[in-house]
Chain A
Amino acid sequence: MNIVFWILAVITVLGGLTAVTLKNTVHCALAVTVAFAGLALLFLQLDAQFAGFAQILVYIGAVAILVVFAILLTRGSDTPTTGVFSRTWFVGLLIAAAVFAVLGWAVLHSAEALPNETAAPAITVQQIGNALMSRYVLPLEIVALLLTAAMLGAVIVAMHEKGEPK
């Protein structure tokens, strides 16, 4: 619990909070990007290089861009006149709190589940690669199949159908 952790934690939480309170949708998307960046830096602070860089590459490089593209291509970035909270905000809050409680409980009990881990293990990218290609090869293949199916689906949805009037 050093000072770097607290700075990053404040950045991440502030980014998340701004994302739900701002009115302009594009501003919200940019604020959530700040939260993503804070999370990536937290990973790096925990010496998880691969997870941190993958977080930046995937979330800032792809997901955030996708979000702003989706906002611009669908209904524009016009500011809503009514409040920013949906009517079901209370249910959403309950679900979020429940998920947070489960995760927190799991994290707090992880020390009992792994009693032999004293120091943080130094994991290199090579070790991650070896694990993915040997022990976890089946989940990897399943994810690959799923992503391929999703991509084919996206192509079919976006395809210009033949015979369609222009």
Chain B
Amino acid sequence: MANTLDQIFVLLKHWIVAHLPVAIQPLVSVVLSVVAIIAVFPALFALTTVIERKGLGRMQNRIGPNRTGPYGILQPVADGIKSLTKEDIVPASADAVVHFVAPLVLVVAVFLGFAVLPMGRNMQLIDMDASLLFYFAIGASTELSIFMAGWSSRNKYSLLGAMRAVAQMISYEVPLLMSTVAIVMMSGSLSLVKIVEAQNQYTWGLPHWYIFTPWGFAAFIMFCIAAMAETNRSPFDLPEGESELVAGYFTEYSGFKFALFFLGEYLAMFSISGLGTTLFLGGWSAPLAALSFMPSWIWFFSKVMLSIVVMIWIRGTLPRLRQDQLMNFAWKFVLPMTLLNLFVAGLWRFMGEGILRWIVCSVILLGAYVIVGRTEMRRKKIGPRSYRYAE
């Protein structure tokens, strides 16, 4: 029974496919998986907008949306109808083709990332050998769509927002990739399915997730920082800093194209949370051996939603960084720490089992954090900002 529930979506797909002629079976099988992804994640997106608006409202000591439906839960429906019926305004001087293509490229690229995420046991669209590489390759191409949106609008705020976004995403992509390399080193595979399987073991009922090791924990923290910067979430939301740039790169978008950007941003959050879950939090494996009877997909989606809630919480807590702080943080703190973490992961691998490697690896990482993060930052003179070009 538990096994049937675990595999219910896979069995359902096989059942539907078995009723069709053999010639179109592979095609239908792929299309069904794609439809499932395209249906589930936008639904989660609608749910997340409610959680975000209500939750942020509570954090900011206000009520949040409460007019549409009981407790305002129908707000996303109202938002959707509004954006569908709104006029689509394209600026007269905008580059019409690029302006039109940009949101499509963003949403398509973000959706492609879901193709390799294992969302449950046997629940992945493609199980390829280099799925992690695929994910990052696709993730890198979203930057171009943001640039296209900002540039084609012929608006200085859009262009500034796009430049900020691209600079930020390039800077934080390096630590994002580097923090996952430690995982690849330990699991010996670029396949996300194999990485989850390597974590799906238990000692005394406790899971072997990579976050529960010194190097894994450090990599997870840096992955989270880089992931939030990659998805342009607060405190890294300079590209859309509404007090400075109206709305950043999508200032000149309205109606459904704006909704597509909004969707793309949230889908990117889901996909990066899904990747973080897969790499560090054991993917679809249960947090305790005693809980393994519950379906694997429940665990995956619970972990993803938990990460999203933490992201919303951080958004409600931290102020926005300044541009120079953002760059200094990426290149002078996060990147050296990820490089050190690679070294520590190698040390961990070759020190063998035992308590000694826990002590040595933790001491190296903590020492580096204290020295780099505290001492060096304190010694740095933090005064008024100096401008190079604006004086």
Quick check: which of A61-69, A88-96, A104-112, A138-146 contacts chain B, the rest being far away?
A61-69
Separation of A60 and B173 alpha carbons in the complex (Å):
14
Are A124 and B388 in touch, CB under 8 angstroms? no
Residue in B closest to A37 when the chains form the complex, CB atoms: B141
Residue in A53, A68, A166 whose CB lies within 8 Å of B147: A68
**A72 neighbours in B (Cβ, 8 Å):** 151, 159, 163
Min CB–CB distance B247 → chain A (angstroms): 20
Are A30 and B148 in touch, CB under 8 angstroms? yes
- Is the CB of A12 closer than 8 A to any CB of chain B? no
**B134 neighbours in A (Cβ, 8 Å):** 49, 53
Which of B128, B130, B134, B386 counts the most A-chain CB atoms under 10 A from its CB? B130
Min CB–CB distance B173 → chain A (angstroms): 8
Chain A 100-152 interface residues, beta-carbon cutoff 8 Å to B: 124-126
Chain A 49-88 interface residues, beta-carbon cutoff 8 Å to B: 49-50, 53-54, 56-57, 60-62, 64-65, 68-69, 72, 77
**A65 neighbours in B (Cβ, 8 Å):** 143-144, 147, 166, 170
**A56 neighbours in B (Cβ, 8 Å):** 137-138, 140-141
Number of A-B contacts (CB under 8 A): 72
For B, the interface residue count at a CB cutoff of 8 angstroms equals 29
Which of A61, A126, A166 counts the most B-chain CB atoms under 10 A from its CB? A61
Separation of A126 and B188 alpha carbons in the complex (Å):
9
Assign chain A's interface to a size class. Answer: 20 to 34
Residue in B133, B140, B166, B188 whose CB lies within 8 Å of A60: B140
Are B98 and A30 in touch, CB under 8 angstroms? yes
- Contacts A53-B133, A62-B170, A166-B388: A77 and B144 contacting too (C-beta < 8 A)? no
Separation of A61 and B140 alpha carbons in the complex (Å):
5
Min CB–CB distance A13 → chain B (angstroms): 20
Are A125 and B136 in touch, CB under 8 angstroms? no
**A33 neighbours in B (Cβ, 8 Å):** 144
Separation of A68 and B148 alpha carbons in the complex (Å):
10
- Is the CB of B376 closer than 8 A to any CB of chain A? no
**A126 neighbours in B (Cβ, 8 Å):** 129, 188-189
- Is the CB of B87 closer than 8 A to any CB of chain A? no
- Is the CB of B182 closer than 8 A to any CB of chain A? no
Residue in B closest to A40 when the chains form the complex, CB atoms: B137
Separation of A33 and B144 alpha carbons in the complex (Å):
9
- Is the CB of A162 closer than 8 A to any CB of chain B? no
**B98 neighbours in A (Cβ, 8 Å):** 26-27, 30
Min CB–CB distance B242 → chain A (angstroms): 23
Are B170 and A53 in touch, CB under 8 angstroms? no
Are B136 and A57 in touch, CB under 8 angstroms? yes
- Is the CB of B391 closer than 8 A to any CB of chain A? yes
Separation of A90 and B130 alpha carbons in the complex (Å):
43
**B188 neighbours in A (Cβ, 8 Å):** 126
- Contacts A30-B98, A166-B391: A53 and B166 contacting too (C-beta < 8 A)? no
Are B143 and A61 in touch, CB under 8 angstroms? yes
Chain A 10-40 interface residues, beta-carbon cutoff 8 Å to B: 26-27, 30, 33, 37, 40
Separation of A105 and B38 alpha carbons in the complex (Å):
46
Separation of A33 and B142 alpha carbons in the complex (Å):
13
Min CB–CB distance A120 → chain B (angstroms): 15
Which of A37, A40, A53, A56 counts the most B-chain CB atoms under 10 A from its CB? A53
**B190 neighbours in A (Cβ, 8 Å):** 125
- Contacts A69-B166, A77-B151: A49 and B130 contacting too (C-beta < 8 A)? yes
Are A57 and B144 in touch, CB under 8 angstroms? no
Min CB–CB distance A98 → chain B (angstroms): 32
Separation of A69 and B143 alpha carbons in the complex (Å):
12
With A53-B130, A53-B136, A125-B130 known, 4 other A-B pairs at CB within 8 A are: A57-B133, A57-B140, A69-B166, A126-B189
User: What are the 7 closest A-B residue pairs judged by CB atoms, nearest first?
Assistant: A61-B140, A56-B137, A57-B137, A53-B137, A53-B133, A60-B141, A125-B130
Question: What are 17 A-B pairs with beta-carbon distances under 8 A?
Answer: A27-B95, A30-B98, A40-B137, A50-B130, A53-B137, A54-B137, A56-B137, A56-B141, A60-B144, A61-B137, A64-B144, A125-B129, A125-B130, A126-B188, A126-B189, A166-B388, A166-B391
Interface residues of A (CB under 8 A from B): 26-27, 30, 33, 37, 40, 49-50, 53-54, 56-57, 60-62, 64-65, 68-69, 72, 77, 124-126, 160, 166
